[in-house]
A and B are shown apart, each in its own frame.
Chain A
Amino acid sequence: SQQGEEDPQALSIQEGENATMNCSYKTSINNLQWYRQNSGRGLVHLILIRSNEREKHSGRLRVTLDTSKKSSSLLITASRAADTASYFCATDASSTLGRLYFGRGTQLTVWP
């Protein structure tokens, strides 16, 4: 399966600390995306990184992509309690156009 896998499954930190989540995938991709989901809600798109990009920033978010290792990381700096949510990576697949493959997510808890 192309499905991405996030690591760790759960992460618990204090406000102000940085949170790092990782995603690994199996086949060639065109782009990789990160989404956030608050409990019981729909997903919200955070950032998209293309296969020819190595790093991308958006506010307190930093995403890296290493296509040789088929992995990506999402760094949230100076975490806040409001960042508590599940975070999912999603990849397309060069061989299967038209859809995304989602991982199982990392549950992030930020304690005040």
Chain B
Amino acid sequence: DGGITQSPKYLFRKEGQNVTLSCEQNLNHDAMYWYRQDPGQGLRLIYYSQIVNDFQKGDIAEGYSVSREKKESFPLTVTSAQKNPTAFYLCASSNQAGIYEQYFGPGTRLTVT
């Protein structure tokens, strides 16, 4: 089965802790993306990567970090510097950045208390 997976589906953390969200794809896509979605809101881009070992900041990168060491994987770390980390996080991939449709994972709901 080809697709994009995110784990875990639900994640709970204490304030002040860093947490890493996993995103893996086996679609052989070059580009990968991380979005944040708050209730009733659209998607806001956190980081994106068009190729291995390269990534760019999106609109709300502060308090987040990423790596792209493998084509299949694009983990997102939510650091303690992120002021309001509780949100629904969506990972996506596409064949070529910005030109083709994006394929989304099922999302991770992060709750920080």
List residues of chain A with CB under 8 Å of any chain B CB: 3, 30-31, 33, 35, 40-45, 48, 88, 90, 92, 96-100, 102-105
List residues of chain B with CB under 8 Å of any chain A CB: 31, 33, 35, 40-45, 48, 50, 56, 58, 88, 90, 92, 97-107, 109
Q: Is there an interface contact between A41 and B107, defined as CB atoms closer than 8 Å?
A: yes
With most chain B CB atoms within 10 A of its CB, the pick from A3, A42, A90, A96 is A42
Instruction: Determine which of A30, A31, A48, A104 lies in contact with B42 in the assembled complex, contact meaning CB atoms within 8 Å.
Output: A104
Tell me how far the C-beta of B29 lies from the nearest C-beta in chain A, rounded to whole angstroms.
Answer: 13
Tell me how far the C-beta of B87 lies from the nearest C-beta in chain A, rounded to whole angstroms.
Answer: 13
Q: Which residue of A lies closest to B33 (CB)?
A: A99
Tell me how far the C-beta of A89 lies from the nearest C-beta in chain B, rounded to whole angstroms.
Answer: 10
Q: How far is the CA of A96 from the CA of B98 in the complex (A)?
A: 9
Task: For B103, list chain A residues within 8 Å (CB).
Answer: 45
Task: For B104, list chain A residues within 8 Å (CB).
Answer: 42-44
